[in-house]
């Protein structure tokens, strides 16, 4: 619903300069992104793929803050190579200071392999507290980099979550980075959201009525956040600094 609203605002020319966010929404990749990020601590760092706002929402970034950043762009996004350099540098600091934090880097369909292979090699050789997330369209090789790779169904959020929990524990214990490879069937795509609905229905904790109630309630939250963001003055220096933590990467 967030991504759909952003697309509409962009088409209405209300989000000038945010074509990346409007066009590169991770449709079909929600299970992987949510499964990996939902159990992270607020102090952990996420480096998302271009246009992906899901990790920020999962990590409790307020809607009004998210939309305010979109209505008041402060700087162009960095490149994938620069983003990965910051990610590995952050993980190195986390390791040296033994602060129990981890860094998570997420790939995209537009990702070039060079920066990713370099980041994997650097993280593996230095045993950094990191998690790398990729999809089957990115043929990353890890054997030469000294870190494990775990393959999982990229349309199953519960499966991704279980694997991510192991990888997070692995990193926090000082055992080094992990690559999580999410496999999806491009010939027979499966909607991970519908997958999750079926799972919750089988558990007896989901219904169409509940879904409608959530949609209506969240739609009102979106309306309020957008109205606030459109009417809000330019952000303060402190708010701009906060936004820099949530800046998406520019594809190579």
Higher pLDDT, 225 or 144: 225
Of the candidates 173, 174, 86, the one whose C-alpha atom is nearest the C-alpha of residue 122 is: 86
| 121 occurs within a structural domain | yes
The pLDDT, as a whole number, for residue 66 is 84
Report CA-CA distances (Å) from 173 to 36, 121, 166, 168, 179.
17, 20, 11, 9, 16
Parent domain of 170: 2-247
Burial class (CB in 10 A: 0-12, 13-18, 19+), 186: exposed
| 136 occurs within a structural domain | yes
The token duo for 147 is 């870190």
Does 183 have pLDDT greater than 80? yes
Q: What's the average model confidence in pLDDT over 2-16?
A: 81
pLDDT tens string 102-128: 999 987 655 567 888 889 989 999 999
Categorize the per-residue pLDDT at 248 as very low, low, confident or very high, splitting at 50, 70 and 90.
very low
Q: Could you give the number of structural domains in the chain?
A: 1
Q: What's the average model confidence in pLDDT over 8-23?
A: 68
Q: How far apart are CA 61 and CA 172, in angstroms?
A: 23
| 29 occurs within a structural domain | yes
Of the candidates 119, 161, 145, the one whose C-alpha atom is nearest the C-alpha of residue 33 is: 161
Categorize the per-residue pLDDT at 242 as very low, low, confident or very high, splitting at 50, 70 and 90.
very low
Does 247 have pLDDT greater than 70? no
pLDDT tens string 129-175: 999 998 765 666 555 567 888 889 988 999 999 999 999 999 999 99
At residue 120, φ and ψ (nearest 5 deg) are -60, -45
Output the domain CATH number for residue 10: 3.40.50.970
pLDDT tens string 18-49: 555 545 555 567 888 899 999 999 899 998 87
The pLDDT, as a whole number, for residue 160 is 94
Does 5 have pLDDT greater than 50? yes
The token duo for 191 is 């909607």
| 16 occurs within a structural domain | yes
Of the candidates 20, 164, 27, the one whose C-alpha atom is nearest the C-alpha of residue 104 is: 164
Higher pLDDT, 12 or 103: 103
Number of neighbouring beta carbons within 10 Å of residue 45: 18
Is residue 131 a contact partner of residue 105, using CB atoms and an 8 Å limit? yes
The pLDDT, as a whole number, for residue 103 is 95
> How confident is the prediction for the chain on average, in pLDDT?
80
| 230 occurs within a structural domain | yes
| 195 occurs within a structural domain | yes
Q: pTM score > 0.75 for this model?
A: yes
| 252 occurs within a structural domain | no
The pLDDT, as a whole number, for residue 245 is 45
| 161 occurs within a structural domain | yes
């Amino acid at each position: 619903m967030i991504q759909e609203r952003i697309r509409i605002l962009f088409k209405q020319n209300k989000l000038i300069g945010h074509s990346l966010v409007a066009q590169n929404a991770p449709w079909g990749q929600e299970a992987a992104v949510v499964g990996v990020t939902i159990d992270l601590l607020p102090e952990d760092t996420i480096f998302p793929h271009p246009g992906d706002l899901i990790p920020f929402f999962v990590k409790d970034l307020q809607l009004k803050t998210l939309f305010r950043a979109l209505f008041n762009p402060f700087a162009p996004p960095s490149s994938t190579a620069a983003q990965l350099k910051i990610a590995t540098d952050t993980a190195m600091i986390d390791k040296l200071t033994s602060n129990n934090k981890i860094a998570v880097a997420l790939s995209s369909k537009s990702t070039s392999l060079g920066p990713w292979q370099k980041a994997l090699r650097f993280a593996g050789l230095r045993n950094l507290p990191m998690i790398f997330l990729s999809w089957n369209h990115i043929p990353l090789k890890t054997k030469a980099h000294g870190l494990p790779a775990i393959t999982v169904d990229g349309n199953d959020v519960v499966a991704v979550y279980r694997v991510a929990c192991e990888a997070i524990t692995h990193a926090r214990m000082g055992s080094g980075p992990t690559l999580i490879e999410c496999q999806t069937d491009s010939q027979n795509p499966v909607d991970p959201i519908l997958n999750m609905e079926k799972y919750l229905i089988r558990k007896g904790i989901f219904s169409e009525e509940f879904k409608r109630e959530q949609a209506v309630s969240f739609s009102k939250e979106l309306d309020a956040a957008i109205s606030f963001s459109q009417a809000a003055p330019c952000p303060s220096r402190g708010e701009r600094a906060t936004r820099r933590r949530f800046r998406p990467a520019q594809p190579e």
